[in-house]
């Protein structure tokens, strides 16, 4: 272990000790946590949803009513699908499943059709509980006829085969139910991966993982009963559920949220709820920063912003504009066993390994397109030097603080596990992400394997290119991806950009910014789009952008192509497209500026 890394670990010892004390008094299951907190602090507010407030006692009573409805429906120790927007009802249903030993399968509220059919099948649930907004999509797939669907809303307006959920809850008892014995090792949630590159896959979260993470994070971030945690993104995502509901409930604090995220209302909500902690994910910070500056931007009680996805190009701008005292960036995977935390607020870093466990997290050389790990003459993977991009691997041992699992029908694919990586007999979880590590043990996100591409013999990391292009005049968000081109290189770069409100695209200025990149990394094509394609938790998608490519028959957005001779980007006309298809368009004639 390097001295610089050890020095930082020693500095963190008090935090490690505090987390250890917190874990010693953690609750075994989510059901007992909710019940015990309702008895200890019944009148304290647990939830603030828009104009609604729910105390710990009222929340537990709602949980008990849901537990009774579950029992009435015949739900046992099995998955039950919950497809609801953020609301007290969703969290009550989730906690009720915990009490009776069922598994809450949290379904993405933004999906429909084939994606929804896949998620319901993957959950293996027989019962689906949904709110009025999601109900039309829940009953649309033909497979829904074989499921028991409980929907909110006026019973007279519900489809004939939908059970009236509101009426059932109103008639259900609020007293503490007789529940089976539930252990910490029992399943609690099915959380689905983000699904940005294909169908989402379920990951199994046990009670012990949820309560352990809630206790550890609450202690590490010094969450107190007086804190109000504002988590506005969907609670079907693991991070918002852990950092929002889990951390608040364990700490005796308050969770504030809303049904749907609104960047325009974010700071108003923070002030309205007197929030002290902001939970962010994906491009949330960018979308909030994009709003027109106001004199009251710094008038809030926030002491901490915590989450994942705050990119280096806006980090300092976000911190300074809103006068945030502390930013904690994290890295983790719902389906993985790795957890990095940036305790110190080092700009751009996704964090470092747990103190004294650095050997359990390593970077390995790999092909950034295929994901194939490089092996030496002895068959072992090749570790990366400091500053070198490689795939993040996490050792699969009993020391992993957070174990990863999949439901029985969805075991972790063998390709996600590297065997005999650094020594015979070892096993390492493959994250599929490319990161760099500095001399102090801090990691920096580079790209997703498969998003990176090779052209002209050079590897292009799309996320790093996007961060440079975000510095072009008028550009506020960029998504970079690879497309095929004529008879030239097999793949070249293309960028989709969103402009600042009221800004006009300046192709010559964009060209000058792009020229600061290596020649192979400069996008050949680009499109100006009014809204970026993102998931429900604001993670950029590339699949549809790649499918559309630069085909004007599929795209109504303005399309441009690089013109090195004119030192600008020019509109992609039919004549130029014909030249490209014949391999007659020259895409690079001069070296990149340095």
The β-bridge partners of 373 are: 366
- Give residue 402's pLDDT: 44
d(CA 354, CA 128): 39
Beta strands in 56-131 (DSSP E): 79-83, 103-106, 127-130
Q: Where in the chain is the domain with CATH 3.30.300.30?
A: 453-581
Beta strands in 426-515 (DSSP E): 427-437, 442-448, 453-455, 458-460, 475-484, 491-499
Please spell the DSSP secondary structure of 522-582, one letter per residue.
S-SEEEE-SS--B-TTS-B--HHHHHHTT-TTT--S-EEEEETTTTEEEE--HHHHHHHHT
Please tell me the distance from the alpha carbon of residue 365 to that of residue 390, in angstroms, as a whole number. 5
Tokens of 201: 């896959």
Question: Start-end ranges of CATH 2.30.38.10 in the chain?
Answer: 358-448
Query: Within 13 Å and on the Cβ side, how many CA atoms surround 524?
Result: 26
**Exposed, middle or buried by CB within 10 Å (0-12, 13-18, 19+), for 120?**
buried
Q: Which CATH number is correct for 453-581, 3.90.550.10, 2.60.120.10, 3.30.300.30, 2.120.10.30?
A: 3.30.300.30
- Residue 410 buriedness (CB in 10 A; 0-12 / 13-18 / 19+): middle
Tens-digit pLDDT string for the chain (594 aa): 577 788 787 887 787 787 777 777 666 799 999 999 999 999 999 999 999 999 999 999 999 999 999 999 999 999 999 999 999 999 999 999 999 999 999 999 999 999 999 999 999 999 999 999 999 999 998 888 899 999 999 998 999 889 999 999 999 999 998 889 999 999 999 999 765 556 788 889 999 999 999 999 999 999 999 999 999 999 999 999 999 999 999 999 999 999 999 999 999 999 999 999 999 999 999 999 999 999 999 999 999 999 999 999 999 999 999 999 999 999 998 878 889 999 899 999 999 998 888 999 999 999 988 899 999 999 999 999 999 999 999 998 764 444 456 666 556 667 789 999 999 999 999 999 999 999 999 999 999 999 999 988 889 999 999 999 999 999 999 999 999 986 555 689 999 999 999 999 999 999 999 999 999 999 999 999 999 999 999 999 999 999 999 999 889 999 999 999 999 999 999 989 988 888 777 665 444 444
Structure tokens at 390: 């490689």
Class for the domain spanning 3-261? alpha beta
DSSP bridge pairs for 528 = 497
**Which residues neighbour 115 within 8 Å (Cβ) at sequence distance 6 or greater?**
108, 195, 199, 200
Q: Which of 139, 88, 128, 131 is nearest to 105 (CA)?
A: 128
CB atoms within 10 A of CB 511: 22
Secondary structure (DSSP) of 126-140: SEEEE-TTTHHHHS-
CATH of domain 358-448: 2.30.38.10
pTM flag (> 0.95): no
Q: Residue 40 and residue 57: Cα distance in Å, rounded?
A: 9
Contact in structure between 419 and 436 (CB atoms under 8 Å): no
Helix (H, G, I), strand (E, B) or coil at 208: helix
Short-list 162, 167, 165, 134, CA closest to 148: 162
CB 495 within 8 A of CB 479: yes
Domain with CATH 3.40.50.12780 in the chain: 3-261
Q: If 0-12 CB within 10 Å is exposed, 13-18 middle and 19+ buried, where does residue 125 land?
A: buried
CA separation for the pair 131, 118 (Å, rounded): 20
Residue closest to 564 by CA, chosen among 583, 589, 546, 529: 589
10 Å CB burial of residue 442 (0-12, 13-18, 19+) is: buried
């Amino acid at each position: 272990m390097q001295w610089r890394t050890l020095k930082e670990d020693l500095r963190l010892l008090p935090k490690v000790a505090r987390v250890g004390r917190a874990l010693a008094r953690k609750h075994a299951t989510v059901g007992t946590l909710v019940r015990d907190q309702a008895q200890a602090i019944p009148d304290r507010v647990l939830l603030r949803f828009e104009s609604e407030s729910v105390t710990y006692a009222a929340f537990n009573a709602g949980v008990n009513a849901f537990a009774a409805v579950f029992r009435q429906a015949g739900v046992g120790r099995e998955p039950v699908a919950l497809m609801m927007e953020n609301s007290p009802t969703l969290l009550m249903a989730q906690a009720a499943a915990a009490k009776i030993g069922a598994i809450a399968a949290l379904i993405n509220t933004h999906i429909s059709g084939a994606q929804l059919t896949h998620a319901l099948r993957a959950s293996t649930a027989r019962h689906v509980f949904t709110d009025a907004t999601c109900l039309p999509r829940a009953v649309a797939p033909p497979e829904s006829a074989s499921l028991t669907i409980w929907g909110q809303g006026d019973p007279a307006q519900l489809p004939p085969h939908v059970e009236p959920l509101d009426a059932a809850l109103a008639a259900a008892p609020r007293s503490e139910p007789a529940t089976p014995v539930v252990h910490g090792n029992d399943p609690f949630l099915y959380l689905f991966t983000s699904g940005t590159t294909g169908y989402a896959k379920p990951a199994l979260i046990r009670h012990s993982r949820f309560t352990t993470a809630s206790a550890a994070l609450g202690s590490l971030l010094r969450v107190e009963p007086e804190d109000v945690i504002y988590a506005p993104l969907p609670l079907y995502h693991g991070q918002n559920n852990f950092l929002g509901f889990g951390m608040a409930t364990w700490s005796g604090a308050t969770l504030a949220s809303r049904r749907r995220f609104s960047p325009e209302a974010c700071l108003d909500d923070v002030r309205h709820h007197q929030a002290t902690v902001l939970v962010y994910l994906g491009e949330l910070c960018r979308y909030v920063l994009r709003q027109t500056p106001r004199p009251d931007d710094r008038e809030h009680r926030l002491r901490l912003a915590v989450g994942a996805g705050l990119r280096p190009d806006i980090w300092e701008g976000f911190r300074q504009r809103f006068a945030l005292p502390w930013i904690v960036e994290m890295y983790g995977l719902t389906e993985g066993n790795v957890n990095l935390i940036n305790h110190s607020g080092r700009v751009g870093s996704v964090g470092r390994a747990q103190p004294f466990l650095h050997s359990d997290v390593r970077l390995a050389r790999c092909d950034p397109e295929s994901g194939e790990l490089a092996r030496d003459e002895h068959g072992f993977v090749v570790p990366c030097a400091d500053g070198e991009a490689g795939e993040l691997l996490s050792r699969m041992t009993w020391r992993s603080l957070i174990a990863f699992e999949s439901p029985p029908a969805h075991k972790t694919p063998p390709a996600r596990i590297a065997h005999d990586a650094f020594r015979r007999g070892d096993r390492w979880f493959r994250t599929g992400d490319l990161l760099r590590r500095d001399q102090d043990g801090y990691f920096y996100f580079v790209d997703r394997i498969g998003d990176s591409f090779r052209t002209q013999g050079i590897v292009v990391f799309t996320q790093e290119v996007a961060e440079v292009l975000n510095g072009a005049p008028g550009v506020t968000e960029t998504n970079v991806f690879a497309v095929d081109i004529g008879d030239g290189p097999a793949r070249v770069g293309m960028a989709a950009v969103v402009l600042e409100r009221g800004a006009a695209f300046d192709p010559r200025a964009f060209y000058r910014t792009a020229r600061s990149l290596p020649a192979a990394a400069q996008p050949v094509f680009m499109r100006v789009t009014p809204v970026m394609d993102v998931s429900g938790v604001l993670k950029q998608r590339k699949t549809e952008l790649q499918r559309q490519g630069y085909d004007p028959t599929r795209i109504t957005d303005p399309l441009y192509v690089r013109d090195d001779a004119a030192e600008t980007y020019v509109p992609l006309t039919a004549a130029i497209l014909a030249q490209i298809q014949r391999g007659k368009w020259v895409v690079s004639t001069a070296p990149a500026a340095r």
